[in-house]
Each structure stands twice: as C-alpha cells, then as structure tokens.
C-alpha cells in the first residue's frame, strides 16, 4: 500500500487524530500498523512492506489501532489476537464471551483451526453469541449460525450449550426479546460481565464486519435503530439488505465491549473505511464510525479496504 498522510485531520468518534510517530523500529514484513493519539498526524509514506508505522489514538479510556495486511497475514494476525484474548479471559474470568458476525469474517477465523491454536485454546470455556442474525431457519443459507457452524464451530470442541443461537421459530420481534432474555440471564449468572459504566452486558470480544455502505451488525445508515439506546437486542423488519427480518445488538451493547475487532476487506469497502476513519465531524456518521468500545478497538484491514486512507 502506498499512501502519504500530510497534515491531515483524521476523525475517529469525533476526536481528532495526531501526528504519527515511528515509535517501533521492528520490522513486520506484511503489515502496516497505525495507532493514533489526538490531534493529527503527518508526513509518513507507507510505500514499503518492510516498515511498520505506529501511532496511537486514545479516546478517554479507549485505545484504537488500525492495521493493514496482506490477506493471508490478516487471518494470521486475527487468529493470534483472538487466541491471546481467549487466554486472557479464561485465565481471569474462567470464561470467554465472543460475539460473531456473518460475511467473510468466519473465513478469517479458520487459522484458529490450525496449530498452535487448535490444541491450546480452552474451547470448553468459550461462550459464543451473534452480534446480529437473520430470522431464517438455522439450515438456511442466509443464516449466520449456519455460516459459523459449517466453517468454524463444528470443527472445535465448544460445548453445544455454550453456543447461543436465536430461536428461529419466533418472529423477529419475539426472537429479539428471547435473545435479550437469554443474555440477561447470563449476565445475572456472571457468564457475561456487566459494564460498571453503562449497565449493559460487557462481552469480552466482538468480531464485527462492515458492509460497503458502512453498516455494522444490522445497524444501517439512516435507520432509526442506529439511535436505539435502551434495548439490548432489537429486531428489524425492513433491512435494506435482504433478508429483511433480523435481530441485532444495539450500539450501547456493542460499545460496552471490552474488545472489538473490526475486520474489513476489499476495495469495494474503501470509501466506507475512508468515511468512517476520516469523515468530517459535520457529516452524518456511518454506523462503523460509531463503534466506540469501553476498551480497545482494532481495525483489521487488507490493502484494498485501506486503499483510500
């Protein structure tokens, strides 16, 4: 990737982003890493794959990193990231609560099925949820559950009782209410942590994708559900992307997370990545730009998705 940032202001969650510092001299052959610290950054060229550029963005207690990879290295880095968080939370809490999305994300998790992760991760302590789900039978090709089960969950020894799919026999509204009831029960039983700041569930890790329009979960640009701030889980019956009936975690739940990985690939999403990371403070923010967890946010981008930064 070749890009030069010169005295430009990068806007992340309404906070300006600063000058870039080459604070890490270590060589990382296949990624370019950006972290940011407010106010602006300038004067770096990411022409060479054998350089790793680091700067930091901090929003109150939230740290943000943006890292750009070759496609194969993105999967390698994501697997390492997830495995390290699994080890951290199973050691500290005795459980690891992970929220999955649909799309290509599951493909990028498949490195976890290989050494050294497949035999070292404490899979029995994983609890798996969906950030959003299409209200279709679990056997349907549109089901995020089916996508995750076929490509990942069926290949690891996570107890079936620790995999929390929606009740696909219910309406969208009923499935959302049922899923929220399930999450509340698990918060009350301390399987899922609770945010002391917001009172919403605090999942250990959310793995998010982003659509070409900048949507995350099933929270779409301009849709009223982007502003829902009371419900934990809500339904959508008019999704602009089929199928129309879905359930989704709301932004207060997403943003109460300890860690969020936003995994975005492909040149078709480059405009939305640019808008989310460098958009004007006065323009309407894309849903992806509203992702602002209590803990750490890391963007995993391939070169295509990062091509307009």
Q: Which fold has domain 90-302?
A: Rossmann fold (3.40.50)
Lowest mean pLDDT among 36-40, 55-59, 91-95, 270-274: 36-40
Task: Express each pLDDT in 86-141 by its tens digit.
Answer: 999 999 999 999 999 998 999 999 999 999 999 999 999 999 999 999 999 999 99
Rg for the chain, CA atoms, rounded: 19
Mean pLDDT of the 41-65 span: 43
Better-scored residue on pLDDT, 42 or 294: 294
DSSP 8-state class, residue 286: P
- At 41, is the pLDDT very low, low, confident or very high (cuts 50, 70, 90)? very low
What is d(CA 306, CA 273) in angstroms, rounded to the nearest whole number?
7
Better-scored residue on pLDDT, 53 or 155: 155
- Looking at residue 42, its pLDDT comes to 28
Going by C-beta distance under 8 Å and a sequence separation of 6 or more, which residues neighbour residue 222? Answer: 284
Q: Which long-range contacts (CB under 8 A, 24 or more apart) does 185-193 make?
A: 186/127, 191/95, 191/97, 191/127, 192/97, 192/127, 193/93, 193/97, 193/258
5 forms beta bridges with 44
Q: What percent of the chain stands above pLDDT 70? A: 78
- At 280, is the pLDDT very low, low, confident or very high (cuts 50, 70, 90)? low
Mean pLDDT of the 38-56 span: 34
Measure Cα distances from 35 to 80, 175, 239 in Å. 18, 38, 33
Better-scored residue on pLDDT, 22 or 180: 180
DSSP 8-state class, residue 199: S
Mean pLDDT of the 280-287 span: 76
The reply to whether omega before 106 is within 30° of 0 (cis) is no
Burial of 93 (0-12, 13-18, 19+ CB in 10 A): middle
- Looking at residue 127, its pLDDT comes to 98
Burial of 41 (0-12, 13-18, 19+ CB in 10 A): buried
Task: Express each pLDDT in 147-197 by its tens digit.
Answer: 999 999 999 999 999 999 999 999 999 999 999 999 999 999 999 999 999
What is d(CA 171, CA 255) in angstroms, rounded to the nearest whole number?
26
Structure token pair of residue 16: 């300006």
- Looking at residue 281, its pLDDT comes to 66
Are the C-beta atoms of residues 202 and 195 closer than 8 Å to each other? yes
The reply to whether omega before 243 is within 30° of 0 (cis) is yes
- Looking at residue 15, its pLDDT comes to 33
- Looking at residue 284, its pLDDT comes to 77
- At 72, is the pLDDT very low, low, confident or very high (cuts 50, 70, 90)? confident
CB atoms within 10 A of CB 12: 23
What value does the mean pLDDT of the chain take?
83
- Looking at residue 279, its pLDDT comes to 77
What is d(CA 215, CA 235) in angstroms, rounded to the nearest whole number?
15
- Looking at residue 71, its pLDDT comes to 73
| pLDDT tops 50 at residue 58 | no
129 forms beta bridges with 99
- Looking at residue 62, its pLDDT comes to 57
């Amino acid at each position: 990737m070749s890009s030069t940032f010169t005295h430009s202001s990068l806007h992340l969650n309404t906070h300006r982003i600063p000058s870039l510092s080459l604070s890490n001299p270590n060589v990382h052959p296949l990624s370019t890493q950006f972290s940011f610290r407010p106010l602006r950054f300038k004067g770096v060229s990411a022409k060479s794959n054998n350089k790793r550029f680091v700067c930091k963005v901090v929003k109150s207690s939230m740290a943000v990193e943006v890292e750009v990879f070759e496609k194969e290295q993105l999967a390698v880095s994501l697997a390492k990231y997830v495995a390290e968080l699994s080890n951290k939370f199973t050691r500290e809490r005795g459980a690891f609560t992970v929220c999955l999305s649909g799309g290509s994300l599951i493909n990028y998790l498949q490195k976890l099925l290989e050494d050294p992760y497949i035999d070292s991760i404490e899979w029995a302590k994983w609890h798996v949820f969906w950030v959003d789900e299409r209200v279709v039978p679990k056997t349907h090709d549109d089901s995020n559950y089916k996508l995750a089960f076929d490509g990942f969950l069926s290949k690891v020894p996570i107890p079936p009782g620790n995999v929390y799919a929606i009740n696909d026999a219910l309406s969208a509204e009923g499935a959302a209410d049922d899923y929220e009831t399930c999450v509340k029960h698990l918060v009350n039983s301390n399987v899922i942590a609770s945010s002391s700041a917001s009172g919403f569930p605090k999942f250990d890790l959310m793995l998010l994708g982003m659509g070409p329009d900048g949507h995350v979960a099933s929270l779409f640009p301009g849709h009223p559900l982007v502003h829902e701030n009371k419900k934990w889980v809500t339904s959508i019956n008019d999704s602009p992307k089929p199928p129309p009936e879905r359930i989704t975690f709301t932004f207060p739940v997403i943003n109460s997370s300890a860690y969020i990985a936003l995994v975005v690939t492909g040149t078709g999403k480059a405009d939305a990545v640019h808008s989310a990371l460098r958009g004007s403070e006065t323009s309407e923010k894309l849903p992806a730009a509203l992702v602002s967890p209590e803990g750490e946010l890391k963007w995993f981008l391939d070169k295509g998705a990062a091509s307009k930064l």
